[in-house]
Structure 1
């Protein structure tokens, strides 16, 4: 089953090697690892849309919403891809996806449940051997306790995927109670308001979606 990414992109490039996306195989938690001690490699993404254009981005995704990260749950790994090692060589390793629990605060495009935290997955994370992090260039892993505007794709199995730049945009100028007054939130809310009826359609419904 193919993974739905930003636009029509089905692969990303890292240091000259192609990372092909496939089905989930193994899982591993990484909450005991000290991130400051582990190197991070940037993944160069090939987008099918202008991810720096809020309207283009929200038109492409299935769900846009404001939420707060409550938990980093685990890391899962997809089909083996060539990843560069500290010694300059490449090694076949599973591509990391980091799983989180997020409480939806406000729905912007289409509706997700707000009465309990939802599961969401971010493309990128710690490698299976804990030797490095792989993160899409311009993106970052989520931080527990932080508020973001999320732009997510629903997958065929109902899960939600964040992939690439501006898939999760930090809300830094307002607190939890006033998050909707943030300049960042207003930018994406205004972008959603400009969408046509066709652009608001959910291509794949999330398991936590609301009709």
Structure 2
């Protein structure tokens, strides 16, 4: 792709501004997406963190659900963080019965897996495909990935704490080893919020996927 890519940010709910700012640092044009016609001409789309059941309901209300699902199935690169990861999953555990999915990645995700807002935590992750050392990850009422199909590449897991290490107490019980970043073809998802840390490497990875598509 020689022209500057156009990347949409789903702007119905969530941390839209933070994703837009991170994308602009990656030399792409950024477009908020609230209506079906704003999908036209996109080279990629970001689904921000927020509240997945609200996002699901708004997608249906604004008649974006099926068009966006079709575009992703047709190869439109997509990246989802936290609630966006939930939306991209094929199946969600602990979600609402009427919650809709975009089926972008063949995985099962558990909603609010790490606990409530007070259980939010931060951790450094080894992240496949991202150079420059560990990625500092912020988890806020985050999901984790229960399982993936063989077609899905696991990019990051919550590390196993070293015995007696100072960080051992920061990781919620049962979280160590859980999958928190995945990719299937041109669709990327993280359980954490790279848009909140000032580290643009995950967004750069996504824009590289967009440019290669």
Give TM class, smaller chain: under 0.3
Higher share in helix: 2
TM-score by length of 2: 0.24
TM-score by length of 1: 0.24
Tell me which of the two structures has the higher relative contact order, counting C-alpha pairs closer than 8 angstroms and 6 or more residues apart.
1
Higher share in strand: 1
